[in-house]
Chains A and B, each alone.
Chain A
């Protein structure tokens, strides 16, 4: 719907700079007039936000309301009247000019194509070998980026380049292609991170680690597949610091994306592997990806004086419960304890218990910025339970994990200690690797 009335944008300076440059050039195409307030805008005392109205426009230095009035009333410039296809489209250059190893590495870093660790340079020979790891054609487009964040097409060959850079082998490539369909990874002004879980026989075939140190730097497949997702995400997302990547603190988890495999062989009887819970067959090779922010460790092992699921419940109160999502990672010994001592016959039964027993105050729930962004719209639309929760006094307890199906339990680790993590990662439905072989 086009109203054909002047509409101006008001935001804090960092968002406005993105809007005037990157978003205008590659996504929006409309030279929106902006007025800027200082950053940060949200989370400030009321007096600060009110004070911005009588303060200065950060862009022009004029009084903010003068800038607002001018933005609504100034005649259009020639630039603001342009319509149609833009001139000067950049073309893709398949090969870079030949150069030394040192210069190429510097180029890759300055362009933001790497994670700033040592990469294997993608010679044509190596990339061709990588592409031969799939039956897909090099030029096949596997993903188009066409929303906010620019407009780019990710081909099989570009994924192969990233896979070579990450140190992967052609055997890894179908899995990395499946992963690449989920690129670019989660990235926002919050410190968003990502999780990759591998299930099925591919764990053994590619020697993924799901035992001792499953989450640590002790295995090549865990390392290079997680890293490949970072590099392909940076390339297709054009993620460059302060250009198209704006995480205030960032996340160290983005180096490897918590890439690990489930220890399917050591699941208690009745506890299905993650991919089987999602409806896949046990022999399907599946990769599951999700976004989240936080991981809280049990620190030590389970204690007989306080049931393990009680402590997991307690720690889950610190999660935002955005989308009712949680992923609990636990050592096989914890899974055995929960099954044999505490009677949870299935993962689903355990997830249901958490959904029913994790409580936090309404004030704590609504006090989270991501919840404000995602759940307030539901409340405004009258959707329950959010509409009712919005009316509650701050100290009223609610059960924020409304959907037990969004609480995932993944068993991994080496049976060294009864340790676990609660995380707020929301794993999406997995992807079959064979579809990309």
Chain B
């Protein structure tokens, strides 16, 4: 007996066997199909597989935050205000606990999806030690 037909008669979905496990939830109901004669249909796959991205490692972490220069980058998600409030409070919190820390708050001039070369240039010139980027949502 043809394998697909046998699976159907057993109440199994051939799609299950091929790796689509959700389709064994109900017994297969045969649907007349003049082209195949066995109630099964062959269709093209609409899905397009995602290509996995090339991996990039993280930069080495800091030993601690003492005397470090930390940039806070405000992506201006729906405007800069919320990010500025948040980062402002974060700067105060860090200044109280790390007296030697230097923090700099920057709002990107290229919007939430753009790079801002001027900020990157400034971070290089000022030997930035770390960055906090956000805040979306």
Looking at chain A's contact residues, the main secondary structure is mixed
The answer, yes or no, to whether A93 is at the interface (CB within 8 Å) is yes
| Contact indicator A10/B132 (Cβ below 8 Å) | yes
Are A73 and B14 CB-contacts (below 8 A) given A44-B82, A113-B46, A235-B46?
no
Interface residues on chain A, number (Cβ under 8 Å): 106
Looking at chain B's contact residues, the main secondary structure is loop
| Contact indicator A98/B51 (Cβ below 8 Å) | no
Q: Which of A12, A15, A150 contacts B50 (CB 8 A)?
A: A150
A85 to B131, CA, bound (A): 27
| Contact indicator A31/B58 (Cβ below 8 Å) | yes
- B62 / chain A contacts, CB cutoff of 8 Å: 6, 72-73
For A6-23 the 0/1 string (1 means CB < 8 A from B) is 111111111100000000
Q: Which of A15, A32, A107, A376 contacts B76 (CB 8 A)?
A: A376
Are A98 and B36 CB-contacts (below 8 A) given A41-B136, A103-B23, A123-B41?
yes
Are A96 and B44 CB-contacts (below 8 A) given A12-B135, A83-B56?
yes
The answer, yes or no, to whether B105 is at the interface (CB within 8 Å) is no
A107 to B15, CA, bound (A): 9
The answer, yes or no, to whether B137 is at the interface (CB within 8 Å) is yes
B residues 60-107 touching A (CB-CB < 8 Å): 60-65, 70, 76-82, 85-86, 88-90, 93-94, 107
| Contact indicator A5/B22 (Cβ below 8 Å) | no
A372 to B78, CA, bound (A): 5
| Contact indicator B44/A122 (Cβ below 8 Å) | yes
For A109-136 the 0/1 string (1 means CB < 8 A from B) is 0110100000001111101000000000
What is the number of contacts between chain A and chain B, taking CB atoms within 8 Å? 301
| Contact indicator A123/B82 (Cβ below 8 Å) | no
| Contact indicator B54/A86 (Cβ below 8 Å) | yes
Nearest A-chain residue to B54, judged by Cβ: A29
Interface residues on chain B, number (Cβ under 8 Å): 83
CB distance from B86 to the nearest CB of A (A): 5
- A104 / chain B contacts, CB cutoff of 8 Å: 15, 41, 43
- B63 / chain A contacts, CB cutoff of 8 Å: 73
Nearest A-chain residue to B134, judged by Cβ: A10
- A91 / chain B contacts, CB cutoff of 8 Å: 49
The answer, yes or no, to whether B6 is at the interface (CB within 8 Å) is no
The answer, yes or no, to whether A210 is at the interface (CB within 8 Å) is no
Q: Which of A5, A29, A103, A158 contacts B53 (CB 8 A)?
A: A29
CB distance from A292 to the nearest CB of B (A): 18
Nearest B-chain residue to A153, judged by Cβ: B48
| Contact indicator A95/B86 (Cβ below 8 Å) | no
| Contact indicator B112/A373 (Cβ below 8 Å) | yes
A373 to B82, CA, bound (A): 12
A101 to B90, CA, bound (A): 57
| Contact indicator B61/A76 (Cβ below 8 Å) | yes
A residues 132-172 touching B (CB-CB < 8 Å): 148, 150-154, 157-158, 161-162, 165
Nearest A-chain residue to B4, judged by Cβ: A98
A92 to B51, CA, bound (A): 10
CB distance from A253 to the nearest CB of B (A): 22
Query: Which one of A49-57, A307-315, A317-325, A356-364 contacts B?
Result: A49-57
| Contact indicator A29/B56 (Cβ below 8 Å) | yes
Are A111 and B47 CB-contacts (below 8 A) given A12-B136, A98-B40?
yes
Enumerate the 6 nearest inter-chain pairs by beta-carbon distance, A residue then B residue, closest first.
A12-B137, A372-B79, A29-B53, A10-B134, A90-B49, A97-B18
Given contacts A75-B61, A99-B40, 5 further A-B contacts (CB under 8 A): A14-B137, A99-B14, A107-B22, A122-B46, A152-B50
9 contacts between A and B (CB under 8 A): A3-B59, A42-B77, A81-B57, A86-B53, A88-B52, A92-B49, A100-B13, A103-B15, A381-B109
